Structure 1
Amino acid sequence: MYFKEIIGQQAVKTHLIKTVKQGHVSHALLFTGGVGNGKLPLALAFAGYIFCENKSETDRCGKCAACKKMDVLGHPDLHFSFPFVKTTSIKTCNPQMREFISTVAKDPYLDLRDWELQIASENKKSIITADESNEIVKRLTLKSFAGGHKILIIWHADKLNPSAQNKLLKTLEEPEPKTLIILVTDSAEDLLPTINSRTQLVQCEHISDEVMANALVERFDTDRTNALNIARIADGDYAKAKKMVAANQSTSKYFELFSQWMRAAATNDYYKILTACDKISKLSRDEQQNFLEYGLQFFHQSILYAYVGKEQARFDNEAAGFAVKFAPFMVSNDLAGFHDILSDGHYMVKRNVNAHLLFMKMGSDMAKLFKTRTPQHNS
């Protein structure tokens, strides 16, 4: 991974490069920020920049022996620890190390859920065990192969159970010379305070819709309008955005279903609510989540439209027209209530509840909200 391949994160890249140039690389870093914003790619690019024998002002050279090894994540002084599904025979991540490296080399923006589905045939959650922490300590006591830095990247460090975290405290506080530990997490608050206090925070930036859309247009065969709409749904999560593009998902499909569902709820037409819910429940789980995220974005933009001003709302043409027609309802109704219904539904979809029953209940709840108010128009 090269810095130039990372989407956005310019301020973070500049900061990391500066620490190397000035010789101020901390021995323990905590990369945190939103889901899918490129923390692991940043950690990989940073490691490669440190290893590079002929680094430039902005990136690694790509030609030296160290860079050639980093191109395939095969540098002998680069180590990984990551979540795995514990079994009676798998107590550390070593048995899946080769698969993990191969997967990350192909897709550094790897999503944790995709990784869990890849390594486990059943719907099981992954962890990083105390046994794995013992392995980490052993790895970091070994001498460097190349005579320079040893670098360990702990992906989704929040998956370290409390016992595993405690076993790393001494290593984080007093590491071997020229040892760098990079913890990568979406949720630093899930780490013990003693872990946070022993690491230097690197806050990774939210990827803006514009930057995300530019990347999608450059890297995939999609038009800018669709790319921008997908970027809005993804909300800074590039892993989600590229999956939507790869699955050829268009936000037009979500708008069509969402507007049909809302019209049915607004008129409290049971048959139309049922028809809309039939269509929504036939979507895949991922698509149902994307659909609800589209709806959440719609209500968020509607709040801006209604209470801040239409120039602040970011609607595509289809949604803008729909929002204008529904503005009398949206201003007078409890927008937060609609938002909560969709937010709760999004949570339940992740829990694999019966989709048809869930969306019927949500449609019914929204119909009640519409029914309790009368349309009003802003002057």
Structure 2
Amino acid sequence: MASFKDVVGHKDIIKYIHNAVEENKVSHAYILNGERGSGKKMLANLFATTLLCEKGGPDPCNVCHSCKQAESGNHPDIIRVNHEKPNTISVDDIRQQVNNDIQIKPYQGPYKIYIIAEADLMSVQAQNALLKTIEEPPEYAVIFLLTENAEVLLPTITSRCVMLKLRNIRDTLIRKYLMESLQIPDYKADMCTAFAQGNMGRAIMLANSEYFNEIREEAVQLLKYINEMDVSEIVKAIKKISTYKLEVNDYLDIIMIWYRDVLLYKATKEMDRVVFKDQLPYIQERARKSSYEGIELILESLEKAKQRLKANVNFELVMELLLLTIKEN
């Protein structure tokens, strides 16, 4: 069973939760804001379990009936709001699962807790419906809004909630966790840590993904030989990349880490901080051939490519522009 001791990082949020529980100063609404894989769901579940724990401590005891129910996902006083439409939480979802239910008192615990994952998917009407509940909640109600984009929530919602921002976790903590808890070898832990960019969930996903190694290998082969490739070969490579469309940001991040390695080696000649240690001769060669301006241009082009793909610009066109920029610099 999970406890706050299992959470890597986020010490300030855990301290806040402990204080709120011990001093009986629990708010009626919280926003947990952080990127996917940052630990929002884990923290919300632990907070909810703690509030309903029969022992009443700052940590869940994981022994009582309530904790066991929470762990199995069957606690009657923890309601996880679902939505049928994939990209929208509708006003009906909020009315039926929150507003119409919240007036019914808790079945067995001191609190009745609502967890709304992907809260940024709430329509404006859904948010306005929820606002009425947040403005005048029953004293036993606690609502958790989990989101990657708190800024898209209505200001009237955010102003009435306690904002808990999940920040990036230090690389040393992520690397240590991967090596000690997941038994990941050091070279792979280095790669996953660098690629995760402070996100523990992403680091764990990458460490367990065979697919990630496949994508990484594809990117490395392209980067090693792009200067010798003609336009037809680049087009062929783009078509191969398009089979990874759902993971294209991962693909672009791998290229970005490669060029950060090139920039780092060019500036310092140090090998210790290079992520692609197994590709060092190619990193050194690229550092010799590319100018600082060229490398910066490539890194800027990678960011632009991400933004264009997010805006649904034609995939092949975006990738062709990017690869030609890489080839020219």
Q: TM-score, normalised by structure 1?
A: 0.75
Deviations 1:195-220 (A, max 9, x none): 11111111112133333333334554
Q: Which residue of 2 aligns with 1:99?
A: none
CA contact 1:265–1:367 (8 Å) conserved in 2: yes
**133, 140, 143: which one aligns with 1:171:** 133
Q: Secondary structure at the match of 2:100?
A: helix
Between the two proteins, what is the percent identity of the paired residues? 26
Q: Which residue of 1 aligns with 2:282?
A: 322
Q: Which residue of 2 aligns with 1:131?
A: 92
- Distance of 1:353 and 1:222 partners within structure 2: 38
**189, 194, 205: which one aligns with 2:167:** 205
- Distance of 1:196 and 1:184 partners within structure 2: 12
Q: Which residue of 2 aligns with 1:78?
A: 78
Q: Which residue of 1 aligns with 2:256?
A: 296
CA contact 1:293–1:346 (8 Å) conserved in 2: no
Deviation at 1:286, TM superposition (A): 4.2
* Correspondence list, 1:222-241, <5 A: 222-241=184-203
- Distance of 1:84 and 1:322 partners within structure 2: 49
CA contact 1:264–1:273 (8 Å) conserved in 2: no
**313, 332, 338: which one aligns with 2:298:** 338
Change (3 A) 1:15 1:312: farther
- Distance of 1:82 and 1:348 partners within structure 2: 31
CA contact 1:226–1:250 (8 Å) conserved in 2: no
- Distance of 1:264 and 1:358 partners within structure 2: 20
| Bigger mean CA deviation after superposition, 259-268 or 12-21 | 259-268
- Distance of 1:271 and 1:179 partners within structure 2: 61
Deviation at 1:260, TM superposition (A): 3.8
Q: Secondary structure at the match of 1:340?
A: helix
| Bigger mean CA deviation after superposition, 160-169 or 336-345 | 336-345
Q: TM-score, normalised by structure 2?
A: 0.85
Amino acid at match of 1:341: S
Deviation at 1:313, TM superposition (A): 4.6
**303, 326, 329: which one aligns with 1:366:** 326
Q: Secondary structure at the match of 2:116?
A: strand
- Distance of 2:124 and 2:8 partners within structure 1: 33
CA contact 1:133–1:167 (8 Å) conserved in 2: yes
- Distance of 1:278 and 1:159 partners within structure 2: 32
Q: Which residue of 1 aligns with 2:111?
A: 149
Deviations 1:103-150 (A, max 9, x none): xxxxxxxxxxxxxxxxxxxxxx42111112212111111111115111
CA contact 2:131–2:157 (8 Å) conserved in 1: yes
Deviation at 1:176, TM superposition (A): 0.5
CA contact 2:261–2:283 (8 Å) conserved in 1: no
**178, 189, 197: which one aligns with 1:216:** 178
Deviations 1:43-94 (A, max 9, x none): 000110111112555x211111111111112111111224431xxxxxxxxx
For structure 1, the 5+ residue unaligned runs are 86-124, 371-379
Change (3 A) 1:14 1:302: farther
Change (3 A) 1:198 1:302: farther
Q: Secondary structure at the match of 2:210?
A: coil
Amino acid at match of 2:88: I
> RMSD of the TM alignment (CA)?
3.0
Q: Secondary structure at the match of 1:139?
A: coil
Deviation at 1:181, TM superposition (A): 1.1
CA contact 1:230–1:250 (8 Å) conserved in 2: no
Change (3 A) 1:8 1:321: farther
For structure 2, the 5+ residue unaligned runs are none
Q: Secondary structure at the match of 1:153?
A: strand
Q: Secondary structure at the match of 2:303?
A: helix
Amino acid at match of 2:38: N
Change (3 A) 1:210 1:302: same
